[in-house]
Amino acid sequence: MRRQFLTVGLFIAVGTLVEAVVETYDYIVVGSGPGGAPLAVNLARAGYSVALLEAGIDLGDNKNYSEIFNFNAAANDEKSRWDFFVKHSDDEAREAKYEKSTWRTADGSFYVGLDPPEGSTRLGIYYPRAATLGGCAMHNGGICTLPNDADWDYIAEITGDDGWLASNMRKYFEKMEANEYLPLDTPGHGYDGYVNTTISDPSLMNQNSDLQKLASRLISRVGGNAGRDINAPDPDRDQATGVFGMATHADRNGKRAGTNTLLKRTLADPAKFNLTVQLETLVTRIIINWEAGEPSATGVEVLRGSHQYEADPLYDTAKQGKFGRIFARKEVIVAGGSFNSPQILKLSGIGPAKELEKFHIPVVKDLAGVGENLGDNYEAGLQSLASKPLNGSAGPVAVFLKTPTARKTRNIQAWCGSFSFEGFWPGFPTDYGPTEYECAVVHINPRSQAGHVRLRSNDPREMPEINFNFFAKGGDEDLTEILDAVKTFRKALNSAGAPITPFDERHPCPGVNQNCTDKAQKEFIKLQTYSHHATSTCAIGPADDPKAVLDSKFRVHGVGNLRVVDASAFPKVPGAFPVCPTFMLAEKASADILAAAEIAE
């Protein structure tokens, strides 16, 4: 094992495990994803000493990660993968029908499917996360879409904090963005931030190609254009539908931008900010002090070394890391993500008392909402094979829909193009060749957030038990909305005509004629829904809400000097893609923390 540091722009590999040179900082930030990285940088640039702790290694110079179009390779790379396996329900018969179920075979390899070799053990539904400097922003598809304004306004409504209003949150987007696809000074956008944003080349529409024709058929049916600004601050943006340019957090050369690039830039800055990045450092528990009569966070306990967490494919129970403690003068800020942040809180005695007592963890604060309220976007897709290889060269186009529903806001975001995306399993995706075409559907604001993240033991290296409990509430309404979107895309694509059509649909209605019943299609979608936007397990809300874990300033209810700043803080799933909203979350948290620090001083 080895310990790694990043300090003042230098990468240092230490041959033997030793205690950190600096063990006390003003702030400790746990996790380097889109919540933790900007926050740590902002605090350091404000003059505070900051320790940023990351369980993984730095892969920012690896092209699988630095080049956005290699995201499938990044998500499959065991150098960064944390392999979580989840459930979608408590119904074992339903779980057994998930076509991409993952099993561990007798020889230790993975099997994916419904007919495993004898002696295999079912692991569940694969849900990879990224343990690397920069977090999941280093292996995602990079889609940067802001949620409906109503999602921000909802947080303001339940907390009484007008700082969450969409009109105020826009300034954090402007601060973080470095827009590369609009004229300078376009209202509502930023040009000097650390998250470069670009869109798929709208010149697609000038081609004489199959992909151009399919995009044209989409536009004819739903409106819009391939260059339209998907993040425009329009007053009616919650109702705006049709085709848009698909924005990603990458520069015009396809280089991934955001967490890792921001950290490297800050560490290399001649100003030499007091930011210390400790890699291969797994946080196991928050240190709690009771001297003032109330619990208060004063530091963290860690295991230092490589591959310390069970989700790591290279994990070895025999290789125990070196124990250490790191202390904070001001605050501990957890940004470990929607699975690991609640696990860390629970291991520290903050969570549902009965669950903690079951594992002999002393209760610091009985907070019933820790690890509950788990939500995610439902994802499905119309996957088809054209009658001929599809010509043309372009990235996918984005589409917003408002399907027939009582909802006041748009409820579907999709992206359509010549690709295959059917969820996650070891080795995904399946390449169906040059005839493949898909509209991948993301359902916005699911009616049910009934999932949970619960401990299996008090061992900090063991993965928690994760169950999303999909469709537990309002399931038929949500399935109807998803199917309505599928029907819209099916009609648009089938109107392209020969020689592209007829399409041989793979799902949700296999074959050329697509004469399946609504019931059959909804059943397929329900059983095969996938997801990768977990949120809300440490939700913001008022103290009298049993599901609330944080106040509007990200402070853990009833525990001093402790905050959570990541996607787990959202009380509801924000829009269709949480990565850029989480960057904004980090910027708001930075402002809140620095304001509090100024008052205290």
Tens of pLDDT, residue by residue over 439-466, are 999 999 999 999 999 999 999 999 999 9
Who's near 223: CB < 8 A, 6+ residues apart? 241, 242, 243
Percent of the chain with pLDDT over 70: 96
562-564 vs 322-334, strand pairing mode: parallel
How many of the other CB atoms lie within 10 Å of CB of 589? 26
| Nearest-angstrom CA–CA distance, 235 and 170 | 13
Q: In what order do the strands lie in the sheet with 110-112?
A: 81-86, 121-130, 102-104, 110-112
Element (H or E) spanning 332, and its range?
strand 322-334
Average pLDDT over residues 23-28: 96
Percent of the chain with pLDDT over 90: 91
Strand partners, 562: 332
CATH topology of domain 201-245+378-443+472-528: Cholesterol Oxidase; domain 2 (3.30.410)
Q: Name the token pair of 281.
A: 């450092």
Tens of pLDDT, residue by residue over 506-548, are 999 999 988 899 999 999 999 999 999 999 999 999 999 999 9
Segments of 345-493 assigned E as strands: 350-351, 365-366, 379-385, 397-401, 412-417, 436-443, 452-454, 465-467
Tens of pLDDT, residue by residue over 542-596, are 999 999 999 999 999 999 999 999 999 999 999 999 999 999 999 999 999 999 9
Helices (H), 177-320: 210-222, 259-267
Q: What is the SS3 assignment for 110?
A: strand
Q: Name the token pair of 320.
A: 């125990």
Q: Assess whether pLDDT exceeds 80 at residue 20.
A: no
| Nearest-angstrom CA–CA distance, 375 and 369 | 13
| Nearest-angstrom CA–CA distance, 535 and 255 | 26
Burial of 231 (0-12, 13-18, 19+ CB in 10 A): buried
| Nearest-angstrom CA–CA distance, 473 and 159 | 24
Tens of pLDDT, residue by residue over 366-412, are 999 999 999 999 999 999 999 999 999 877 899 999 999 888 999 99
- CA distances to 401, 503, 511 from 489, rounded to whole Å, are 10, 12, 16
| Nearest-angstrom CA–CA distance, 224 and 86 | 37
Annotation-wise, does 29 bind a ligand? no
Q: Assess whether pLDDT exceeds 50 at residue 19.
A: no
pLDDT level of residue 2 (50, 70, 90 thresholds):
very low
pLDDT score at 205: 85
How many of the other CB atoms lie within 10 Å of CB of 522? 20
Segments of 87-225 assigned E as strands: 102-104, 110-112, 121-130, 177-179, 195-199
pLDDT level of residue 21 (50, 70, 90 thresholds):
very low
Domain ranges of the chain: 1-80+132-196+256-373+451-470+535-601, 91-130, 201-245+378-443+472-528
Number of H helices, E strands in the chain: 13, 26
The CATH superfamily of 1-80+132-196+256-373+451-470+535-601 is: FAD/NAD(P)-binding domain (3.50.50.60)
> Look-up: residue for tokens 């989480």?
582
Q: Name the token pair of 356.
A: 């903690």
Q: Which amino acid is at 101?
A: S
| Nearest-angstrom CA–CA distance, 6 and 15 | 15
1-80+132-196+256-373+451-470+535-601 and 201-245+378-443+472-528: same fold? Answer: no
| Angle subtended at Cα 565 by Cα 560 and Cα 567, rounded to the nearest 5 degrees | 140
pTM of the model: 0.95
Q: Name the token pair of 96.
A: 């057994």
Mean pLDDT, all residues of the chain: 94
Query: Do the beta carbons of residue 188 and residue 176 sit within 8 Å?
Result: no
Tens of pLDDT, residue by residue over 135-156, are 999 999 999 999 999 999 999 9
| Nearest-angstrom CA–CA distance, 373 and 391 | 45
